[in-house]
Amino acid sequence: MIPRRATACCGSPVMSRSPNQTRPEVGTVSPEMSRKNVVLPAPLGPMIERSSPRRTVTSTRSTAMRLPKARVSASVRIRGASGIGANSMASSKVSRRGGGAPLCYRPREMDSLPLPPLSAEQTDLVARMRELSRTRFAPRAARYDAESSFPHENYRDLQAAGLLPLTVPRAYGGVGADPIAYVHALREMAQGCSATALTFNMHSTITSFIDALGTEAQKQRWFAEVVEHGRLIASITSEPEQSFRDKFVLNTVFRRADGGWRVAGVKQFCSIGDAADYYFVTGVVEGTSSAAEGVISAMIPRTDAGVKIEGIWNATGMRGTISHTIRYDCLVPESDVVGTPGSLLTIDLSGFALGYAAVYLGIGEAAFDYMLEYAKTKTLKPATEPMSHHPLVQRTVAQVGTALRAAQLLVHEAARVRMTGDKAATMLAVNQAKAYAAEVGLDATTRALQMAGGRGILKELPLERWHRDALAGPVMPPSNDRCLETAGKLLCGLRAATLEFQ
């Protein structure tokens, strides 16, 4: 006897029975179904619940981001953070049609973008940030964008939740998050408010610089300011007429003066703007011939009389970062100079780019969540089924989801490599992650906007805001061109540097 083949989904058998088949004396016999244990690769486990795009408003149902419940032949359970192993299959009901052949297989209820394996501590931290981002940051994001105003309320919430000192070492009262926990927390933050996530990355990266370069007295002082008083630190490096795509020439000068240094120069793209409590200003010591010899930084309080706003931020995207142009002409005491001339270039500077990768990935994930919900709930006449039933929509969702998942794994891997302390491997992984995540994030916002059609450009939807915010990703230093050039040099065995100062 030739057993009947499985039927196609809701269709006819793919192979008919032989007319000369032999039947047993009593009834017919269905082939026995064998059940197999499935070992899932690490990226699939553990599953962590994610939020829907519409959870930014109160009208969204709680299952907005969950795929339809499945009718499957077996259930799979994923174990712990190791991501390996599966239990023996529990029996489940399978719809059968003659001969016991299963019909359509639909995916079980699952996360559309499952996280790589995280420890319990990392998972808890990411979950805390997700909740804060979903319930507090997301409802305010459109207002900060429209007003081009700084997200003060979000930072007060971060302080109240104990998350503002995320990268401050535990020895000084901070959270002491490792790079993996940090990038995934930043992704979650960006899904709620892009401007908060971008400025938070700058603040957090500077706390890591202070940890690497500061004296014990400086760490005690400035970390206490962040932990106990919620102070914000802005990174101030960019200057007019200069670019990190080539060797950066610093025009801000540190001149020796009585009791310290006279710091003079104009800086642009000063994210956090006049909302910062301190500015980490980088320049070059007067009379030195190169950055390697003379680059130096100092902490300047916003209240210094020599700090003046010269240009107000009015940009297409990332409007809540208030990245003003600021002129500095300040007398800085020796105790506020961080590190020695040239020492800044000896530490790991990859925190900026790694954080940017996480931010723009998070924006893309927010757009993807919205795209999925829109496809599953929107029906366009004369169709009687949601858009998700159309092959073109399915293809688009698959392409964007696959690209985002790949970007998420690249960012996760870059963070893991950074923890090893291998500078060359970190440089390669971070540059690859930043270039890819920024492109994928921008593409996700574009595709989501296109799927929504004409309504996508309306201010009442978040799609056009996410798209405008994502436009900055490929050009933020290190720009994607620079990232790819650096990665290419490393792969070819050539000398490379993500950022170079003349």
pLDDT for residue 440 is more than 60: yes
- Per 3-state DSSP, the chain is made up of helix, strand and coil in percentages (nearest 5) of 45, 10, 40
Determine the Cα–Cα distance for residues 198 and 181; give it in Å rounded to an integer.
16
Integer-rounded Cα Rg, in Å, for the chain is 27
Determine the Cα–Cα distance for residues 45 and 357; give it in Å rounded to an integer.
22
- Cβ–Cβ under 8 Å, residues 73 and 93: no
Beta pairing class for 253-257 and 278-285: parallel
- Cβ–Cβ under 8 Å, residues 190 and 355: no
Quote the distance between the C-alpha of residue 70 and its chain's center: 30
pLDDT of residue 65: 37
Q: What angle do CA 148, 152, 157 make, to 5 degrees?
A: 140
Q: Residue 214 — pLDDT band, cuts 50, 70, 90?
A: very high
Least confident of 65-74, 302-311, 339-348, 389-398: 65-74
pLDDT of residue 498: 82
What's the one-letter identity of residue 453?
A: G
Q: 165-197: per-residue pLDDT in tens?
A: 999 999 999 999 999 999 999 999 999 999 999
What's the one-letter identity of residue 210?
A: I
Determine the Cα–Cα distance for residues 245 and 480; give it in Å rounded to an integer.
9
Length of the chain: 502
Q: Which two tokens stand for residue 109?
A: 């209820």
Terminal Cα-to-Cα distance of the chain (whole angstroms): 80
- Cβ–Cβ under 8 Å, residues 374 and 390: no
pLDDT of residue 502: 64
Q: 6-20: per-residue pLDDT in tens?
A: 444 444 444 444 444
In the predicted model, what is the mean pLDDT of residues 109-113? 70
pLDDT of residue 311: 92
Beta pairing class for 324-333 and 260-270: antiparallel
Q: Residue 109 — pLDDT band, cuts 50, 70, 90?
A: low
Determine the Cα–Cα distance for residues 288 and 116; give it in Å rounded to an integer.
47
pLDDT of residue 106: 52
Q: Which two tokens stand for residue 181?
A: 């926990």
The DSSP secondary-structure symbol of 501 reads B
Quote the distance between the C-alpha of residue 78 and its chain's center: 25
- List, in sequence order, every beta strand (DSSP E) within 72-123: 96-97, 101-102
| Domains of the chain from N-terminus onward | 347-491 (1.20.140.10)
pLDDT of residue 283: 93
pLDDT for residue 121 is more than 70: yes
Q: Peptide bond preceding 333: is omega within 30 degrees of 0, i.e. cis?
A: no
pLDDT for residue 281 is more than 70: yes
